Structure 1
Amino acid sequence: MAVIDDILEALETLADPAGKVVLQRFFKTGKGQYGEGDIFLGIKVPEQRAVAKAFYKAAVPGDVESLLKSDIHEHRLTAAFILTLQYKAAASPEQKQAVFDCYISNRSRINNWDIVDSSTHKIVGPYVHETGQFSLLYELAAEPSLWSKRIAVVALWFLWKKGYVAEGLDLIARNLEHPHDLMHKANGWMLRELAKTDEDAMLGFLEQHYQHVPRTTLRYAIEKLDKPVRKNILRGIFP
């Protein structure tokens, strides 16, 4: 039996009809919602991670691409888990390049927030740092796709710790007023992560762009600050 068949069989045995109903509601799969048309099997995330761990060494790009092309959400999320494990285990720049190429060339299938958020900081972030190609994130952020933009921004989760503060803040500024709340949340989340290592830079950015920062972004960014500081910032008063 081919590896892809083994992966699909392993996932199918974990399907849970009751969980399917819950997940299809949680991930907004109704008409006109961001996850419209997404199909779920109802598999828990730790179980998908376990399947990925069991098969990532044997899976080839064709197997991963088959999973990514699936309309079933858990197939695509498991593919992302496999790619993150393969990137981490890669023994050479060539192997990392192959994993990155598979991920980025199929980015239209990295098409829900959990798939993006579980993978881009483990593949795109390290790749950008290792190759010095930060411009790649600007290119992704300029694409019309919500998910390409989120891939770019959440990659900062890795890159903040490597010193890409000015570049990262510029990246966030480029889509600060994006209309979708999933970008508002991503931007705010990444600003909150920045504050763990450079709170002054985060606060300076918020103060500079205060009139254009969506309230959701602002609340996410300052969530971990002391309550009196949060209250003042929400009124436009900065430390």
Structure 2
Amino acid sequence: MTEPVLDRLTALFEADRDPSRAAAMRAYMRDQFDFLGIMSPRQRELARRAVAGTARPTEAALLALADACWARPEREYQYFACDQLRRHARVLSPDALPVVRRLITTKPWWDTVDVLAARVVGPMVTRDRVLVAAMDDWIDDDALWVVRTALLHQLFYKRDTDADRLFRYCTRQAGHTDFFIRKAIGWALREYAKTDPDAVRSYVAATSLSGLSRREALKNL
């Protein structure tokens, strides 16, 4: 799967390259990544054409494709890989988690990490509960983006959220000084508040959180 799909995608992306838009996109992302200058709706259209007619990928093929996309300098390739991982997350076994962790910590920023956290790691943990122990390790990891992933992996669990674990994770990182961790704490709590607002109110009232985390958690309450 990897080479034919990536070859087709490359041809399609290159034909749509827009240097002026790429410069604006690079500036928006604080000059951390190069871009082709392809907007999201067009990226999705070209991605559909690149994978048209292909069978569902195996785990090995999917991870190889992701690695190949991560090796490309332009960010649109990483977006494509994230979307493919999200779409085919069901083929990922617990053995894939170290590879996903490597993607999270390579060229990391919120735009890829949040998709991998909530749409890839989250479903993996739901399907294979053995990975809960990995999340318990990740919440204390030295890598900021791994911690953020642990905080956000339950983001869309709704009534299936392990609230005790969510609150425990937020408490463990409540004193973290980084914006992206404080924001993730608030976001995770705000999302769970849609399911159990009283539990979130009680937790926030009883917990010493940063102002940012508190504001985010209570934004819709």
Instruction: Assess same fold via TM > 0.5.
Output: yes
Q: Distance in 2 between matches of 1:173 and 1:160?
A: 20
Which residue of 38, 42, 53 corresponds with 1:43? Answer: 38
Maintained 8 Å contact 1:69/1:109: no
| 8 A contact 2:154–2:161 mirrored in 1 | no
TM-score by length of 2: 0.83
- How far apart are 1:203 and its partner, in Å? 1.2
Supply the RMSD in Å over aligned alpha carbons. 2.3
| Inter-CA distance 208–112: structure 2 relative to 1 (3 Å threshold) | same
Amino acid at match of 2:72: S
* 2-structure distance, mates of 1:139, 1:52: 35
Cα 1:139–1:110 change in 2 (3 A) is farther
TM-score normalised to structure 1 length: 0.78
Q: Deviations over 1:10-53 (max 9, x none)?
A: 22233322322222222223xxxxxxx42222222223333444
Matches within 5 A, 1:41-120: 41-55=36-50, 57=54, 60=61, 61-87=63-89, 90=90, 95-97=91-93, 100=97, 102-109=99-106, 111-120=108-117
Q: 1:12 aligns with which of 4, 11, 14?
A: 14
- Map 1:201-212; keep pairs closer than 5 Å: 201-210=199-208
What SS does structure 1 have at the residue aligned with 2:108? coil
SS in 2 for 1:158: coil
Q: Post-superposition shift, 1:66?
A: 0.8
Relative distance call for 1:26 and 1:48 in structure 2 (3 A) is same
Greater shift in the superposed pair: 165-174 or 103-112: 103-112
Task: Give 5+ residue unaligned stretches, structure 1.
Answer: 30-36, 226-239
1:64–1:79 contact (8 Å) kept in structure 2: yes
Give the distance between the partners of 2:47 and 2:135, measured in 1 at CA.
Answer: 27
CA distance in 2, matches of 1:10, 1:123: 26
**1:174 positional shift:** 1.7
Shift of the alpha carbon at 1:156?
A: 1.6
Supply the distance in 2 between the matched residues of 1:160 and 1:96 (Cα, whole angstroms). Answer: 22
Q: Which residue of 2 aligns with 1:144?
A: 142
Letter in 2 for 1:17: P
1:127 to partner: Cα distance: 1.3
Tell me the amino acid that sits aligned with residue 221 of structure 1.
A
Give the conservation status (yes or no) of the 8 Å contact 1:76–1:110: no
Query: Would you say 1:199 and 2:216 are equivalent positions?
Result: no
List runs of 5+ in structure 2 lacking aligned partners.
none
Identical counterparts, % of pairs = 23
Distance apart, 1:206 and its partner CA: 0.9
Change (3 A) 1:195 1:69: same
Change (3 A) 1:152 1:48: farther
